[in-house]
Amino acid sequence: MTVKDQAPKQKSSRNYRDTILRKLCQDETEAIALCNAITGSNYSADSKVLLCDLDSSLMWRYNDIAIAVENELLCMFEHQSSISTNLPLRFLSYVADILYSWFVQTEKLYSSKLYKIPTPKFYVLYNGEQPLKETTLKLSTAFEVEGGENSLELVVHIIDVNYNSENEILKKSPLLRGYSYLIEQIRIYKKQGFTRDQAIGLGIKHCIEQDVLRAFLKMHYEEVAKMLNFQYDQEAEHRVLREEAKEEGFEEGRQETARNFLRMGLSLQQVTEGTGLELSTVEKLKEELV
C-alpha cells in the first residue's frame, strides 16, 4: 500500500505552536525535495505527499515531522539540544502512533493477507551548537541483553543541518538550507548582544533582504517570529532542566558523603567543612542515621 492508496484518517488540531520547518514542509514540492535530499531518493514533483500529524501521542512533541511520500514514511525530529541516546526509544512509540493513526485499519490485521505499510525511516535533523559525537543511534543499544536475530531494531540517522556544516543535504534542499541560514543569522545577532526578540527580528529581515525564504518569511513574518520564540523557549527550558538535574545530583552526592563522614565518627563541624553543607542539614542527616 502506498500513500496514494491510503486516505488520511486524522487531521491536525495541535494546541501548541508549530516550528518553521514543519510549516515549510506543508508545501508539497518542498517536502518532496527535502525527502529526496535526506534519503537519496528521486521522487518526482507529482508524487503523493502526506504530512502526518498526531492529535495525541505518548511522545507528542512540537519538533516532530512525519512525511509520507509514496511508499516511504520519513519520521524526523528537529533537535537543538545535546543528542539523547534515548531517541530510538522515543521514535519507537512515535512511529507506532503514526502508523496506527494514519495507515493501519486495525480490523484488517486479523486477515490472513499480509497488511502492507509504508517503510519507516528515522532521522534527527540536528542544528545544535555542540559537535556531534555520533551519527547513528540504535534501539538495541538499550537492551539489557543482546537481542539476537528475532529481536527488534530501530536505527536513527543523525544529520548535522547547521549552515556551516557544509552538508551535501543542504545543497540538495533549498528549504533546509534556507532554514539553516535563518537559524545561523539569529545566533549571530544574539552573540552580538541583541536580545532574543531583536535577534529573531533582525534574522528574519536579513533573510528577506538576501532573498532567503523571502516569500515565505514576508507572508508569515509575525507567525515565524512567534514560532521561533517558542522554539527558543523550549530550548531554554530543556537547558534549565538539565542544569537542575545536575545540581540535584551534586546535592545528593554531597549528602551521601556527609552520611559516610558521620558514620566514620567525624564531628558535625568537620562534616560541614568537608562537604560545604549547612550545619542544620548535617544535623538532620545525623538524626536520620540514629
How would you label 239-264 residue by residue, b for 16+ Cβ within 10 Å and e otherwise? eeeeeeeeeeeeeeeebeebbebbee
User: Partners of 160 in the beta sheet?
Assistant: 126
Query: In angstroms, rounded to a whole number, what is the distance separating the alpha carbons of residues 196 and 62?
Result: 20
Residue 215, C-beta contacts closer than 8 angstroms, at least 6 positions apart: none
| 157, burial (CB in 10 Å: exposed 0-12, middle 13-18, buried 19+) | middle
What pLDDT is stored for residue 242 in this prediction?
A: 52
Cell of 283: 544535623
Query: In angstroms, rounded to a whole number, what is the distance separating the alpha carbons of residues 182 and 194?
Result: 16
Residue 260, C-beta contacts closer than 8 angstroms, at least 6 positions apart: none
User: Partners of 76 in the beta sheet?
Assistant: 65, 123
Distances (CA, A) of 140 to 82, 88, 121, 151: 21, 9, 16, 9
Extents of the domains making up the chain: 1-160
What pLDDT is stored for residue 102 in this prediction?
A: 93
What pLDDT is stored for residue 8 in this prediction?
A: 47
Positive or negative: CA dihedral 217, 54, 2, 78: positive
What pLDDT is stored for residue 76 in this prediction?
A: 93
Please tell me whether the overall predicted TM-score, pTM, comes out greater than 0.75 for this model: no
Identify residue 28 by its one-letter amino acid code. E
What pLDDT is stored for residue 62 in this prediction?
A: 61
Query: In angstroms, rounded to a whole number, what is the distance separating the alpha carbons of residues 282 and 249?
Result: 17
Please choose, from the candidates 27, 20, 16, 122, the residue with its C-alpha nearest in 3D space to the C-alpha of residue 66. 122
* Beta carbons of 117 and 104 less than 8 angstroms apart: yes
User: Partners of 178 in the beta sheet?
Assistant: none
pLDDT mean values, one per 10 residues, the chain (290 residues): 48 48 86 92 92 63 84 89 84 92 91 94 91 90 89 95 90 91 93 91 95 92 82 58 54 79 80 80 84
What pLDDT is stored for residue 16 in this prediction?
A: 34
What pLDDT is stored for residue 5 in this prediction?
A: 53
Q: State the Rg of the chain over Cα.
A: 24
